[in-house]
Chains A and B, each alone.
Chain A
Amino acid sequence: MSTAATVEHGAGHDAHGGGHGHTSTGLSNNKLAMWLFLGSECLLFGGLISTYMLYRGRNGDGPGPDQVYSIPFTSVSSFVLLMSSLTMVLAVSSAQARDVAKTKLWLTVTALLGATFVGGQVFEFTDFYRKGLGYTTSLFSSSFYTLTGFHGVHVTVGVIMLLAVVGMLRTNRIPGDRAEVVELVGLYWHFVDIVWILIFTLVYLIPS
Chain B
Amino acid sequence: MSTVVEHAAHGHDSHTHDSHGEHAGHSNKHYYLVALALAILTGLEVMLSYVDVGAAFLPLLLILMGIKFVMVVLEFMHLRKDAKIFHYLFWSGFVLAIGVYVAALACFKFFLNP
Query: What residues of B have a CB within 8 angstroms of the CB of A86 in the complex?
Result: 31-32, 34-35, 76
Residue of A nearest to B100 (CB): A46
Contact A194 B16, beta carbon cutoff 8 Å: no
A79 located at the interface, meaning its Cβ lies under 8 Å from any Cβ of chain B in the complex: yes
Asked whether A190 lies within 8 Å of B77 as measured between CB atoms, the reply is: yes
Q: How many chain B residues touch A (Cβ–Cβ < 8 Å)? A: 63
Whether the pair B97, A9 counts as a contact (CB closer than 8 A) is no
- The CA-CA distance from A89 to B27 in the complex, in Å, is 11
Report B65-100 residues with CB < 8 Å from chain A CB: 65, 68-69, 72-73, 75-77, 83, 85-86, 89-94, 96-98, 100
Q: Which of A4, A93, A183, A197 contacts B28 (CB 8 A)?
A: A93
**Contacts A35-B90, A86-B35, A201-B65 given; does A26 touch B104 at CB 8 Å:** no
Distance in Å: Cβ of B65 to nearest Cβ of chain A: 4
**Interface mask (A1-26 → B, CB under 8 Å = 1, otherwise 0):** 01111111110010001001110011
Contact A42 B90 (CB under 8 A): yes
Contact (Cβ within 8 A) B83 A93: no
Stretch at the interface among A48-56, A127-135, A151-159, A163-171: A48-56
Q: Residues 170-201 of chain A: 1 if any B CB is under 8 Å from the residue's CB, otherwise 0?
A: 00000000011001001100110110011011
Binding site for B on A (CB under 8 A): 2-10, 13, 17, 20-22, 25-28, 31-32, 35-36, 38-43, 45-47, 49-51, 53-54, 71, 75, 78-79, 82-83, 85-86, 88-90, 92-93, 95-96, 179-180, 183, 186-187, 190-191, 193-194, 197-198, 200-202, 205-207
